[in-house]
Amino acid sequence: MNIFQFEYLVIAWIGVAIFLLPLLFRITAPYGRHSKTSWGPMIPNRLGWILMELPSLLLFAYLFLTGTNEPTQVTWVFFGCWVVHYINRSLIFPLRTRTTGKKMPFIIMLLAIFFNLANAGINGYYLGFHPEAIYPESWLTNPYFLIGISVFLIGFFINQQSDHILLNLRKPGETGYKIPHGEMFRFISCPNHFGEMVEWIGFALMTCSLAGLSFAIWTAANLLPRALDHHKWYLKRFEEYPKERKAVIPFIL
Contact 36, 105 (CB under 8 A): yes
Q: What is the average pLDDT value for the chain, to the nearest integer?
A: 92
SS3 assignment, position 246? strand
User: In one letter, which amino acid is 196?
Assistant: E
Cα separation, 186 vs 246, whole angstroms: 9
Residue 29 confidence (pLDDT):
78
Query: Model confidence at 34, in pLDDT bands (50, 70, 90)?
Result: confident
Q: What is the DSSP letter of 140?
A: G
> What angle, 0 to 180 degrees and rounded to 10, lies between the N-to-C axes of helices 106-129 and 3-26?
150
Cα separation, 164 vs 180, whole angstroms: 11
Query: Model confidence at 4, in pLDDT bands (50, 70, 90)?
Result: confident
Closest CA to 78 of 220, 207, 177: 207
Q: How do the domains of the chain map onto residue ranges?
A: 3-237
| Per-residue pLDDT tens over the stretch 124-177 | 999 999 999 999 999 999 999 999 999 999 999 999 999 999 988 877 666 678
| Per-residue pLDDT tens over the stretch 95-119 | 888 766 788 899 999 999 999 999 9
| Per-residue pLDDT tens over the stretch 238-248 | 999 999 999 99
Residue 11 confidence (pLDDT):
96
Q: Give 87: exposed, middle or buried? Use CB within 10 Å, 0-12, 13-18, 19+.
A: middle
More confident site: 38 or 50: 50
